[in-house]
């Protein structure tokens, strides 16, 4: 990793088949994978330039969660931001995002960068979750809301730009650097 590149780890979470892997692959490789083996866990990385700063993003594409899954503790450590994904044609996947968020808050508490993503906008004829519902839930979560289509590559890059922007604003723009700690 070259100097000046900030490394950030982002966990992509949500119910199975909502398009977590499709979003990650579309972002990193610029292609839509129609069929994808259910993920156990994958890590993708891509370096992006956001407001003149280079970020190496490590995207942890997690296995699908459901409302009964324990929140995997490893996703509460060293993760800088979370992307919670539901599919706009599935109320259940929307409900699962609520449950993941509750478990996440129990583990990490406080202000964590979270982007709530309503994916599969290309399925608008089958829409079951309205944009208003998505916005309301995001507000409740203190998250940023965006709707996307991995298939049509709509707003995909924006998800990751938003999560980085949110990380920086929650840090107060301060680079978290252990070397600057002082013991009085």
Give the integer Cα–Cα distance in Å for 77 and 127: 35
> Within its chain, how far is the Cα of 170 from the centroid?
16
One pLDDT digit (tens) per residue for the chain, 184 residues: 556 899 999 999 999 999 999 999 999 999 998 776 776 888 999 999 998 999 999 999 998 998 888 888 788 888 999 999 999 999 999 999 999 999 999 888 778 899 999 999 999 999 999 999 999 999 999 999 999 999 999 999 999 999 999 998 887 654 443 333 344 4
- Confidence at residue 96, expressed as pLDDT on a 0 to 100 scale: 97
- Of 5, 18, 87, nearest to 46 by C-alpha is 5
pTM: 0.90
Contact between residue 19 and residue 119 where contact means Cβ atoms under 8 Å apart:
yes
Which has the closest alpha carbon to 5: 37, 52, 43?
A: 52
Q: Where are the alpha helices (DSSP H) in the chain?
A: 20-29, 91-108, 131-141, 156-170
The range of the structural domain enclosing residue 44 comes to: 5-180
How many domains does the chain contain in total? 1
Tell me 40's DSSP state: S
> Which pLDDT belongs to residue 175?
46
Calculate ∠ Cα 124-127-129, nearest 5°: 130
Separation of first and last alpha carbons in the chain: 33
In this structure, what CATH number is given to the domain that contains residue 137? 3.40.50.300
């Amino acid at each position: 990793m070259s100097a000046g590149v900030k490394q950030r780890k982002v966990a992509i979470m949500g119910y199975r088949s909502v398009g977590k892997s499709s979003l990650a692959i579309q972002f990193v490789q610029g292609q839509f994978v129609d069929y994808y083996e259910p993920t156990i866990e994958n890590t993708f990385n891509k370096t992006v330039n956001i407001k003149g700063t280079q970020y190496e993003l490590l995207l942890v594409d997690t296995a699908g969660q459901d409302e009964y899954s324990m929140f995997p503790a490893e996703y509460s450590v060293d993760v800088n931001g979370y992307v919670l994904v539901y599919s706009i044609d599935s109320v259940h996947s929307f409900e699962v995002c609520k449950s993941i968020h509750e478990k996440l808050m129990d583990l990490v508490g406080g202000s964590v960068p979270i982007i709530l993503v309503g994916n599969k906008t290309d399925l608008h004829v089958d829409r079951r979750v309205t944009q208003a519902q998505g916005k309301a839930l995001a507000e409740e979560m203190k998250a940023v809301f965006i709707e996307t289509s991995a298939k049509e590559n709509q707003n995909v890059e924006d998800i990751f730009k938003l999560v980085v922007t949110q990380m920086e604003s929650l840090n107060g723009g301060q680079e978290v650097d252990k070397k600057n700690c002082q013991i009085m």
